[in-house]
Structure 1
Amino acid sequence: MIQVILFDPLVPWSLIWGLSALSLISIGAALWRGLSGWALRGLAALGLIGALTGPVYQVEDRSPLSDIVLVVSDETASNQLSDRATQLDEAKSVLADQLANRPNTQARWITLADGDGDSGSQLMGAISDALAEEPRARIAGIIALSDGQIHDTQNTPDLPAPLHLLMTGKDTDWDRRLIVRNAPGFAIIGEPITLRLRIEDQGAPQDNSPLAPLEISIDGGTPQRFTIPIGTDVDLPLTLPHGGRNVIQFVVPTEQGELTDRNNTALVQINGVRDRLRVLLVSGEPHPGSRTWRNLLKSDSAVDLVHFTILRPPEKQDGVPVDELSLIAFPTRELFLEKIDDFDLIIFDRYQRRGILPAIYLDNVSDYVTKGGAVLVAAGPDFATADSIYRSPLSTVLPARPTARVIEDPYQPVVTDLGQRHPVTADLGDPQIWGRWLRQIEVDRPQGHTLMSGLEDRPLLVLNRVGEGRVALLASDHAWLWSRGYEGGGPQLELLRRLAHWMMKEPELEEQALWAEATGQRMRILRRTLDDSVGKVTVTQPDGSAVDLDLAETGPGQWETQYDGPEIGLYRLTEGDQSAVIGLGPSAPREFEETIATADILRPVIKPTRGGLLNLQSGVPVLRNVREGRPAAGRGWIGLTPKNAYETLSVVQSQLLPPWLVLLLVSFFITVGWIREGRR
């Protein structure tokens, strides 16, 4: 129960102070003149001015409120290393007993878990959320049980009470960390790139050796071992072995006594791309389709095109000396003997044997294919003649045999059932609206995959693998009609682009492929195949355990599923003879970048609140009460500031003197003073 006198003036305070000054002057003048009633007149003025101030007698019924202490328990990954979890549990138990024995106190326990994604320890965010839910006037203290590795000090709120850090960890803790300084997202196949690595020892390492072992593997293959210095940036040259995604894993073997091995591994994913794709285009004679091939290949800035069109065959003798012709002689020997291996793709566009390329040169082209090269034949009427390129050593690699029949009837190209699943011809659009072609070369005995058919289901586009290389046969020279918009045209450029890139072994156009796409800890597993069904995909986790997953068909030849990886690291996928690797999460999670307990990060936050930084290795400190603004920590103790907060239950106000009594008293003093002065 609180009793107070309050003032609620009837007129502005300025007027009251003015009346007070005037009254004081009048009383002083009366005293100077020797008037006997000055004291009574002064009492009358005092009573009148006091009535104008509006004095109120207030009785307030209050209920005291307890102090609130926020205790944040850091249970992020870094604070679970070594015996920190045990230290944390023991400190929580002792603090709980002390807070329970402290009168008029409530404890708010807050659990700090790992932040979303890779945001680390968001201690200040947890404190801000807790302060938003509690009256700030009741907060007597904030205690953080943590290793001090905080990642959001820039979001520190205005703290209404001392903040204390009770730090886990030991002075003997140490950890070894692998850092990848730079890793490009793309690199050119066959050309070395430089990765900068660094191995750091944090804390108090047991072994002061200046060197550390390092293992490097690509796509989960056999690792290569090196020894590099500790604490020094090391430039490591690396050459990507293949196109597409290359998953490179760096591992530093775990040493005895390390806090964790989670930062001993780094994953780098680099996409391998070709510097330049070298294409040799040989046109047997000028025709509308040759420009189509040239425009397609020249439109790609990554393609180096060498194009020769045979304008003057050997049998054409017009008597003009060769050295007077403004034509470039066909460098057959240089191209087909000396530099053939420099090309990624050779295209024969309506080429026929005219003695320009001897059989030994074409035999060399056949060997080029079996060793990994690619040959595409765009057949015209010449393919059905006795001078057909098929009637040469190339017949051993070509995927179909001409029957010597040339069909000159209109027809609409059709994608076969197999072609619907092959990446070269899948999703090309609606074949019903494609324009017709007007010529087809009849072939039989197709080998490999027939992706498109023409008249009466005759093979139109046939692809095959020979040895390590690839060959393709397009049994028509009228694909250019689509680019001219004949009868609505068709996807000619896209078809030829895909065909050329499949020949050059671009990974995204492989018909048998297994790969995964990562989003956080979730991977989307995709399988492409020409078969009607696929088996289960086996996912091998970083710890060596495996799980089998069923794939669901999402389209012709397309199968996929999703999987949430339980931990960060390298995952291996296998299905049949297909395999792939993928890394989930960051190469080194933020929680494990710095693992040694430290007070340096929170020191600038704690100092303004006059809180304490104490190590739990020395025991749990004692709680004391301190006045606000005083130092709130000392050796073996931390302070809480009692707030003495209360809740008002009721307020009763009444006038100190009734108006009639004030009027009576003032009139009495004035009357008595006047009578006294009059008698004198």
Structure 2
Amino acid sequence: MNGALVFSPLLGWPLVAVAGAVALLIAGLALWRGLAGWGWRALAAAVLTLALANPVVQQETRAALSDIVVVVVDRSASQRIGGRAAQTDAALAHLQSQIAALPNTELRLVEVSDAQSNDSDGGTRLLTVLSDTLAEEPAARVAGIILLTDGRVHDVDINPQLPAPTHIVLTGQPDDWDRRLIVRNAPAFAILDEPIRLTLRIDDQGAAPQTDSVPLTIAIDGGEPMRFTVPVGRDIELPVTLPHGGMNVLQFETPAAEGELTDRNNAAVVQINGVRDRLRVMLVSGEPHAGERTWRNLLKSDPAVDLVHFTILRPSDAVDPTPTEELALIAFPTRELFVDKINDFDLIIFDRDRRRGLVPDDYMQNVANYVRNGGAVLVSTGPEFAGAESIARSPLAQVLPARPSGQVFDGAFRPQLTELGQRHPVTAGLPALSGVDEDGNPLWGHWLRLLDVKPTDSAEVVMSDESGHPLLVLDRAGEGRVALLSSDQAWLWARGFEGGGPQNEFLRRLAHWLMKEPDLEEEALWAEPQGQQMRVIRRTMEDAAPPVTITLPDGSTATVTPTEVAPGRFESLWTAPEAGLYRLTDGTLEAVIAVGPAAPREFEQTIATADILSPLTTPTGGGTLAASDSMPDVRTVRANQTAFGPDWIGITPRDVARVTSLQTSPVLAAWAWLLIAAGLMLIGWLREGRRGGAKP
């Protein structure tokens, strides 16, 4: 019980003040005039003013509240190495028993795990969790805070307000040591066939034994590792040449040493995208025509393309008196292009070219051999392809994906994707770039001419007209690739005729498929990391995708079956249990993917330390005790006293209570106040009567 005198004015404090002021003024006036009994009347006015102030007695019934001790337990990845998990469990059990033995004290237990990080590499967010916990508890009841951790936290910028002595119970051993591999410099992109220099470093932390050098292996896409011996504690520059275009996954690893805390930071994974330095393209236009500039503009718009373009302005047998040296900008270097430097080109385009004797058959045979050896040829045809001068009658026909029938269709037609073309990466998804009508047909403008061609047995027809005549035919010849576009009307899309079409994307994909761009392979398996998840993607020309087996970093396996999300594209979303290198295979194709950061923050620094948290805990009067020395006792201490010792930590009892009931009663009843005031006024009147009023 706890009582107090409080006021609850009947008319509000402003009116009470006015009434008191009037009473005081009248009493002063009576005193100035020397009226008898003025004092009694003043007392009566004071009693009435006090009655208006309404004094009441307030009595509270309180229940004592328990003190709260907040214990934050670090369960992050660095707390699961070197026996720290068992050490943490033992320390926690001891603290729970100590706090349970304290009178009127309860425990608030909070655990911090990696999953509470805001991103896949958030590290230990211990202070964030502590701040959120304190926000939910009344600060007046918090008697102490205990942090059970290795001290490796990554959110010291939070700086929470600590209302009570805060202590660190530090896990780990004083003789702990660890070895860490660091990739200091690794580019996101690299030029193929050119060495890049990666900067690595191997550091020993803690009480490490003296070591001058250690072995190091480097594997690309999970292949045969390259082995090196590198020094410890120094930056090392290693030259690496990427073996292929597209994503290259490089894994660096040094073997685990006896006695080190963990080998999780002995490896690092880097993903580097291999790109070609310059793409060399030769464009041979057989004659000037409306679509010639379409090819030139497309290729010149790409800064990575070196274009060599020749246009045959007139045939050699044309009747024209203009001297050749005045007509040609430069002499057509036939032998240099088709013999000496043909293998320097990544792509050769014949745009409405015909046999005129400028390129002998021996040179066209070189082009066919160039394709078989890994080159790429694109033939864009016009009416000349169906005639006697067709390049299909040259040795190049050995690698062409189709032969002309001799028939030319002059008339409007709308390009269509074949069933195969809806799956092929060159043409898949093109209708979506321009929209489709109610029947799902692309809203593309008409072309006005088409040559009838007969595809070879191995060729793939991915585009046609409405009647099924082949428009775009693709094929492989030896190690190379070849494509034939049986119309010279693609430029109509570029001009926006009848709304045009996705001409730039269409021709870009076609050219890059011919040059073996990895992103445009028909049969492909890859994975895209999304935090701790990976999206497994299988592209195929078949109707179904086989199951994919995933090999985890620890050697165990998991199987996923991708489902079709678009024609020819199958996907499956899978959650990876840990960061590291994952290998995928469906029995035919293989892929390698790195999940999570190359060097997780939890394993950047693994030696336990109180240096990070001490600037926060020391001002509260708290201290640091090592769990490896002894389990600390928990004691109660008064405020502003030292709250820790060699083997104990202290909490400050708060003695906080909660009001369970509140009773109020007036000091006097209203009639009593009036009776007292009337009595005082009567005395004053009698006093005045005896003295006979005021003095003369």
TM range (shorter): 0.7 to 0.9
Contact 1:374 1:471 in 2 (8 A): yes
Structure 2 counterpart of 1:110, one-letter code: V
Equivalent of 1:271 in 258, 270, 273: 273
CA distance in 2 between counterparts of 1:157 and 1:455 reads 70
Structure 2 counterpart of 1:379, one-letter code: T
CA distance in 2 between counterparts of 1:148 and 1:669 reads 81
Structure 2 counterpart of 1:449, one-letter code: E
Q: Give the CA deviation at 1:193.
A: 2.8
Question: Is residue 435 of structure 1 aligned with residue 446 of structure 2?
Answer: yes
Contact 1:443 1:475 in 2 (8 A): no
CA distance in 1 between counterparts of 2:443 and 2:619 reads 76
Contact 1:383 1:441 in 2 (8 A): no
CA distance in 2 between counterparts of 1:503 and 1:239 reads 24
Match of 2:635 in 1: 624
Unpaired segments ≥5 residues, structure 1 = 27-39, 675-680
Equivalent of 1:365 in 345, 364, 367: 367
Cα distance 1:5–1:486, how it changes in 2: closer, same or farther (>3 A)?
closer
Q: Give the CA deviation at 1:413.
A: 3.4
Match of 1:496 in 2: 507
Cα distance 1:482–1:95, how it changes in 2: closer, same or farther (>3 A)?
closer
Q: Give the CA deviation at 1:432.
A: 6.8
Task: Give the 5 Å matches for 1:234-245.
Answer: 234-245=236-247
Residue by residue over 1:90-113, the C-alpha shift from the partner in whole angstroms, topping out at 9 and shown as x without a partner, is 112211221121111111111222
Question: Is residue 351 of structure 1 aligned with residue 353 of structure 2?
Answer: yes
Match of 1:477 in 2: 488
Q: Give the CA deviation at 1:614.
A: 0.8
CA distance in 2 between counterparts of 1:548 and 1:112 reads 31
Q: Give the CA deviation at 1:572.
A: 1.2
Residue by residue over 1:241-284, the C-alpha shift from the partner in whole angstroms, topping out at 9 and shown as x without a partner, is 22221111111211111211221221212222222221100011
Q: Give the CA deviation at 1:380.
A: 2.2
Match of 2:437 in 1: none
Match of 1:83 in 2: 83
Structure 1 counterpart of 2:112, one-letter code: L
Contact 1:51 1:662 in 2 (8 A): no
Match of 2:397 in 1: 395
Match of 2:423 in 1: 421
Aligned residue for 2:430, secondary structure, equals coil
Cα distance 1:446–1:282, how it changes in 2: closer, same or farther (>3 A)?
farther
Match of 1:64 in 2: 64
Cα distance 1:380–1:323, how it changes in 2: closer, same or farther (>3 A)?
closer
Match of 1:605 in 2: 616
Equivalent of 2:593 in 573, 582, 590: 582
Contact 2:540 2:569 in 1 (8 A): yes
Question: Is residue 226 of structure 1 aligned with residue 237 of structure 2?
Answer: no
Contact 2:527 2:536 in 1 (8 A): yes
Contact 1:446 1:462 in 2 (8 A): no
Equivalent of 2:332 in 310, 330, 333: 330
Task: Give the 5 Å matches for 1:116-265.
Answer: 116=117, 117=119, 118-205=121-208, 207-265=209-267
Aligned residue for 2:449, secondary structure, equals coil
CA distance in 2 between counterparts of 1:669 and 1:154 reads 75
Q: Give the CA deviation at 1:436.
A: 3.7
Structure 1 counterpart of 2:156, one-letter code: T
Cα distance 1:583–1:525, how it changes in 2: closer, same or farther (>3 A)?
same
Aligned residue for 1:292, secondary structure, equals helix
Structure 2 counterpart of 1:553, one-letter code: E
CA distance in 2 between counterparts of 1:442 and 1:581 reads 41
RMSD over equivalenced CA pairs, Å: 3.5
Aligned residue for 2:190, secondary structure, equals strand
Aligned residue for 1:154, secondary structure, equals coil
Cα distance 1:650–1:399, how it changes in 2: closer, same or farther (>3 A)?
closer
Residue by residue over 1:10-42, the C-alpha shift from the partner in whole angstroms, topping out at 9 and shown as x without a partner, is 977xx99xx9xx99xx9xxxxxxxxxxxxx99x
Match of 2:382 in 1: 380
Cα distance 1:590–1:670, how it changes in 2: closer, same or farther (>3 A)?
farther
Match of 2:313 in 1: 311
Question: Is residue 533 of structure 1 aligned with residue 544 of structure 2?
Answer: yes
Contact 2:403 2:454 in 1 (8 A): yes
Match of 2:573 in 1: 562
Cα distance 1:667–1:229, how it changes in 2: closer, same or farther (>3 A)?
farther
CA distance in 1 between counterparts of 2:69 and 2:97 reads 13
Contact 1:199 1:230 in 2 (8 A): yes
Match of 1:521 in 2: 532
Structure 2 counterpart of 1:602, one-letter code: L
CA distance in 2 between counterparts of 1:590 and 1:312 reads 68
Aligned residue for 1:390, secondary structure, equals helix
Question: Is residue 461 of structure 1 aligned with residue 472 of structure 2?
Answer: yes
Q: Give the CA deviation at 1:367.
A: 1.9
Cα distance 1:94–1:393, how it changes in 2: closer, same or farther (>3 A)?
same
CA distance in 2 between counterparts of 1:352 and 1:549 reads 52
Residue by residue over 1:22-72, the C-alpha shift from the partner in whole angstroms, topping out at 9 and shown as x without a partner, is 99xx9xxxxxxxxxxxxx99xx99x99998999866544322221111111
Moved more, 574-583 or 342-351: 574-583
CA distance in 1 between counterparts of 2:191 and 2:446 reads 39
CA distance in 2 between counterparts of 1:393 and 1:517 reads 44
Aligned residue for 2:153, secondary structure, equals coil
Match of 1:282 in 2: 284
Cα distance 1:587–1:324, how it changes in 2: closer, same or farther (>3 A)?
closer
Structure 2 counterpart of 1:290, one-letter code: E
CA distance in 2 between counterparts of 1:148 and 1:529 reads 50
Cα distance 1:308–1:326, how it changes in 2: closer, same or farther (>3 A)?
closer
Cα distance 1:594–1:665, how it changes in 2: closer, same or farther (>3 A)?
farther
Contact 2:401 2:455 in 1 (8 A): no
Contact 2:402 2:453 in 1 (8 A): no
CA distance in 1 between counterparts of 2:387 and 2:92 reads 92
Structure 2 counterpart of 1:156, one-letter code: N
Moved more, 593-602 or 308-317: 308-317
Aligned residue for 2:615, secondary structure, equals helix
TM-score in terms of structure 1 length: 0.88
Aligned residue for 1:142, secondary structure, equals strand
Structure 1 counterpart of 2:79, one-letter code: N
Equivalent of 1:550 in 550, 554, 561: 561
